[in-house]
Amino acid sequence: MSARTFPPTPAAVDLGRSLRAVRESAGLSQRDVAAGCNYSHVMVHRAETGKWPISWGVVRGIAGALDAERMIDRWESMWGKAQIEAEHEYARLREQDRLRSAVGQAPMRYIPRPSDAESVASYQQALVRLRRSAGNPSYDEMARRSYGGSLTPRTTLYDLTRPGRVELRHYAVQAFLDACGVVGAEARVWLDLLMDVPMERKSGRRRPLSAPVFSAQVVNHDR
């Protein structure tokens, strides 16, 4: 497992097992639950297997899809414990990062936190921190790195962190991640978190939480 993703903590595993038990007792599949709460089945699977970060909104949505209001208080308590454990793990990784920097080793890239999904602005701030932790490349350089420089204009990457946005496009976020060297399981953490960000289109309608995931290859470029 990548050092930049949170391993399942005891509280997260307990929460996941409880979610799965209630789902199975209701005779529903993960896709059934996903359809009922407007999250992807991947997100439901992450919640059931203790993968982190998972926001309370995801757990609350699953509870609604399972018609399990009776479990809300218990699940909220379990989620709170898992959140605390994840914060401790985050602090450990940050200390590890500091020690790496102290001996001249390259620091790790920024790790997204559940709080980064609270709003479009908070997710944008997380992307800015990621760019800085990746060496603060120029947007021209990011455009050259992203998918080999053939698909993403620099303006698309720049506009993604522009203040005042009400929506973040999935393809643009993935291109931004690719330009920062974030791919595979590490990118999945970011993209799953993106699904939980409250966003509205210009019409005022909330955008669907599910989004396709495009495969990307790591492209090395000379700085």
149: left (phi over 0), alpha (psi -120 to 50) or beta: left
Closest CA to 33 of 169, 165, 176, 210: 210
Helix (H, G, I), strand (E, B) or coil at 200: strand
Q: In sequence order, what are the beta bridge partners of 206?
A: 200
Give the span between the Cα atoms of 34 and 23, in whole angstroms. 11
SS3 86: helix
Quote the CA–CA distance of 194 and 173 in Å, as a whole number.
Answer: 9
Beta bridge partners of 52: 6
Q: Which two tokens stand for residue 6?
A: 């949170």
Q: Which residue has the tokens 């920024």?
A: 110
Q: What is the pLDDT along the chain (223 residues), one digit of tens a residue?
A: 333 445 678 888 999 999 999 999 999 999 999 999 888 888 898 889 887 667 888 899 999 999 998 999 999 999 989 888 877 776 666 666 566 556 555 556 777 776 778 889 999 999 998 898 888 889 888 888 886 555 678 888 999 999 888 889 888 898 898 888 887 777 778 888 888 888 765 544 444 433 333 333 333 333 3
The partner residues of 200 in beta bridges, in order of sequence, read 206
User: From CA 75, how far away is CA 68, in angstroms rounded?
Assistant: 10
Q: Do the beta carbons of residue 146 and residue 182 sit within 8 Å?
A: no
Q: What confidence score (pLDDT) does residue 33 get? A: 94
| Spatial separation of the C-alpha atoms in residues 221 and 65, rounded to whole Å | 45
Identity (one letter) of the amino acid at 50?
A: G
CATH code of domain 10-101 = 1.10.260.40
* ∠ CA 61-87-56, rounded to 5°: 10
Structure-token pair, residue 200: 């509205």
Q: For the chain, which residues make up each domain, given as ranges?
A: 10-101, 114-194
Count of Cβ atoms closer than 10 Å to residue 93 Cβ? 16
Q: Distance from CA of residue 100 to its chain's centroid?
A: 24
Q: How many CA atoms lie within 13 A of 56 on its CB side?
A: 14
For residue 61, give every residue at least 6 positions away whose Cβ sits within 8 Å of its Cβ, in sequence order, or none. 37, 38, 39
150, two tokens: 């053939």
